[in-house]
Amino acid sequence: MSTLAGKIAVISGGTTGIGLATAQRFVTEGAHVFILGRRQAQLDEAVELIGRNVTAIKADAANLDDLDRVAAAVREEKGVVDIIVSNAGFTEQAPVDTLTPAHFDKAFNLMARGPVFLVQKLLPMMTGGGSIILVSSAMHQMGIGGHTAYAATKAALRSYARTWAAEFKDRGIRVNTLSPGVTDTPILDSQSETRENLVKMYQSMVPIGRLAQAEEMASAALFLASGQSSYVTGSDLMADGGIGQV
């Protein structure tokens, strides 16, 4: 039997990178996935790639009205949620001396505020034995210049996992963070005009000596989503190639 046979998963940021790879893997393992994204063209492309057992919802994971629509759509189509993967995010570097309120608010609204209300709105449909996965980053415990807002949002997710693991323990819902290292996804393209140099820099920092692939993060998410991690809650799975460990 497939690992996630019959399970219903909601994945924010599900159109590219880690989110898309996770949606593909979950469907392969028997789940039906709802993927959220802001751009219809990317949603359409993702649906075509996934191929089956997928519902695409155009939604901004930072917009509470959109999250209400997401919850309503999931309730109408399936009525239950087994897995939530809060993955929507972006990276824009800004040293603290040039940090703007707009940059700070954009980061926190999407990557710290959004996950709280995504979970809140889906929680009434979650089953006992459910799993919430908050996609954080190895950077939540590192110090890399230029990432004041980004790293702080990822640290917030780590805190949520601890708090919610305690808060939801009587509901049978597990909550964990997945903290990737540097992963070879389109998000790298927004960080530098010279992607090749950026990749070389990151590779030099990673003990394994290469960047992660999105499919490797999907495997880690599958572990946290499935009964294979039935005794794991409040934890942080550092799938980071050692960059945050060594």
Match 């994204």 to its residue by tokens: 37
| Structural domain contains residue 32 | yes
Q: Which among 79, 77, 37 has a CA at the least distance from the CA of 57?
A: 37
| Structural domain contains residue 221 | yes
Do residues 174 and 130 touch, judged by C-beta distance below 8 A? yes
| Structural domain contains residue 128 | yes
Q: What would the pLDDT profile of 180-229 be if each residue is shown by its tens digit?
A: 988 888 777 665 556 677 777 778 778 888 898 999 999 999 999 999 99
Residues in the chain: 246
CA–CA–CA angle 11, 13, 16 (5° rounding): 110
CA 107 to chain centroid, in Å, comes to: 14
Q: Which among 32, 123, 22 has a CA at the least distance from the CA of 77?
A: 32
Query: According to the model, what pLDDT value does residue 191 have?
Result: 58
Query: According to the model, what pLDDT value does residue 196 have?
Result: 75
- Catalytic residue annotation: 150
Q: Looking at residue 109, which CATH number applies to its domain?
A: 3.40.50.720
Total structural domains within the chain? 1
Give the residue ranges of the chain where pLDDT is below 50.
none
| Structural domain contains residue 216 | yes
| Structural domain contains residue 2 | no
Q: Which range marks the domain in which residue 51 is found?
A: 8-235
| Structural domain contains residue 192 | yes
Do residues 148 and 99 touch, judged by C-beta distance below 8 A? yes
| Structural domain contains residue 246 | no
